[in-house]
Amino acid sequence: MALFLGVFHLLVLSLAVSAQQCTSPGQRKAWHKLTNAEKTAYIDAELCLMKKPATLGLRGAKTRFDEFQSIHQLQAYSTHFVGSFLPFHRLMLYAHETALRNECGYTGYQPQTLSRYWQEQLDAGRFSRSTILDPVYGFGGDGARTTGCISNGPFANYTNSLGPGYEITNHCINRRINDAISGGSAQAYVDACLAMRDFETAWPCIEGQPHTGGHAGIGGQMGNGVSSPGDPLFYLHHTWLDKIFWDWQARDRATRAKRIAGTNIGPDFAPGFPPRPASIPKPTGAAGDPGTVTTLNHVLNMYGNSPNKTIGDVLDIQGSYLCYEYVEP
Ligand SMILES: *[C@@H]1O[C@H](CO)[C@@H](O)[C@H](O)[C@H]1NC(C)=O
Ligand SMILES: *[C@@H]1O[C@H](CO)[C@@H](O)[C@H](O)[C@H]1NC(C)=O
Ligand SMILES: [Cu+2]
């Protein structure tokens, strides 16, 4: 009887859990499709996060905006060139978006409307002329020739406390746009990754060219593998990469939203990533993984910015934890 009751209980519990599944996903729209009012709402929410004092006690962080940069700075060598690269950034984007909503009142003009993405292939090879860099309804333009600091737009006066790299220094948000390098965001590179047959080839493909095109094409803080989330464009760039990852997963969702692979030990040194200081030890594995291979139980550490989740929790963007969809541009 006790056993029967136990099984019955489990059944009720699992029905309750599946009832919580994602039924009305939040919509992530491309930046260039937004109205000016929608663009302003997003920018205002980010400015709000930049004004809120830090609360988590993370190394060098002064604002809530900085604390999301910390997640990346503290784990740069354990979240790049490893199997968790795409799921880690997916959860980090969601944590940031949740803060925009819950701490800064961002609704995106619709209940459930969430982050925005930069449809970068439209601007590949011509980043400097992208509407996303508009000084009024965008993120401001290139760095000034003398200082490297962005000189117009809503973020021109922000003092970054983290970076470059692992450093803790006060500095402006800097950029050094290179249109030729921004060619790495072209549709041909996206298509090549979407055609990959398994995670072991799709992940390095996405981490390679479309990822690098956006970071190095903007340059400055964005070009720094460790401190890049000091430029708010980071979130629009990585949300685009998350869309590419999801577009790839959705081609065989039953398999691709349930499987992970790859090493969990990052390299000692990577180009574009300043060397790790001794105070940040080389990771020897990850919580949740039994060995050096990335598994579904791998814990993604958000340093208190959101609950930690496992890779298994975030592989499906319409699953038990995440609930959003990408609206085609
Ligand atoms: C940045 O500071 C300058 C000089 O104080 C000021 O003229 C400008 O309006 C400020 N820009 C923003 C977006 O706050
Ligand atoms: C998140 O994960 C890290 C790494 O496993 C762990 O040290 C930390 O305590 C966790 N944080 C929370 C709030 O569970
Ligand atoms: Cu990154």
CA distance 207 to 267: 14
Cis ω before 164 (30° cut-off from 0): yes
Domain ranges of the chain: 23-326
Ligand 1 near 149 CB (within 6 A): no
Ligand 1 near 47 CB (within 6 A): no
Q: What digits encode the pLDDT tens for the residues 292-316?
A: 999 999 999 999 999 999 999 999 9
| Cα Rg of the chain, angstroms | 20
Given strand 26-30, what is the order of strands in its sheet? Answer: 113-117, 26-30, 324-326
Say yes or no to pLDDT of 85 above 80. yes
Ligand 2 near 299 CB (within 6 A): yes
The one-letter code for the residue type at 223 is G
- Ligand 1 centroid to 237 CA: how many Å? 25
- Ligand 3 centroid to 86 CA: how many Å? 9
> Which ligand is nearest the CA of 307, by number?
2
| End-to-end Cα spacing for the chain | 57
Ligand 1 near 140 CB (within 6 A): no
In testing the pocket of ligand 2, which one of 78, 299, 311 has its CB within 8 Å of the most ligand atoms?
299
**Atom of ligand 2 at shortest range from CA of 300:** 2
pLDDT of residue 18: 44
For the chain, give the percent of residues with pLDDT over 90: 81
Q: What digits encode the pLDDT tens for the residues 93-120?
A: 999 999 999 999 887 645 455 668 899 9
Other CB atoms within a 10 A radius of the CB of residue 147 amount to 11
Stretch (H or E) spanning 309: strand 309-310
- Ligand 3 centroid to 138 CA: how many Å? 22
Tokens of 249: 């997963």
Ligand 2 near 301 CB (within 6 A): yes
pLDDT of residue 9: 44
**Atom of ligand 2 at shortest range from CA of 302:** 1
Q: What digits encode the pLDDT tens for the residues 48-78?
A: 999 999 999 999 999 999 999 999 999 999 9
pLDDT of residue 12: 40
> Which ligand is nearest the CA of 85, by number?
3
- Ligand 2 centroid to 304 CA: how many Å? 8
At how many degrees (to 10) do helices 85-104 and 199-218 cross?
60
CA distance 112 to 106: 10
Q: What digits encode the pLDDT tens for the residues 5-23?
A: 444 444 444 444 444 578 8
CATH architecture label of 23-326: Orthogonal Bundle (1.10)
Ligand 1 near 255 CB (within 6 A): no
Ligand 2 near 297 CB (within 6 A): no
Tokens of 154: 């809503």
Tokens of 117: 């993405």
Residues 6 or more apart in contact with residue 19 via CB below 8 angstroms: none
The one-letter code for the residue type at 293 is V
Query: Which residue has a Cα nearest atom 9 of ligand 1?
Result: 157
The one-letter code for the residue type at 275 is P
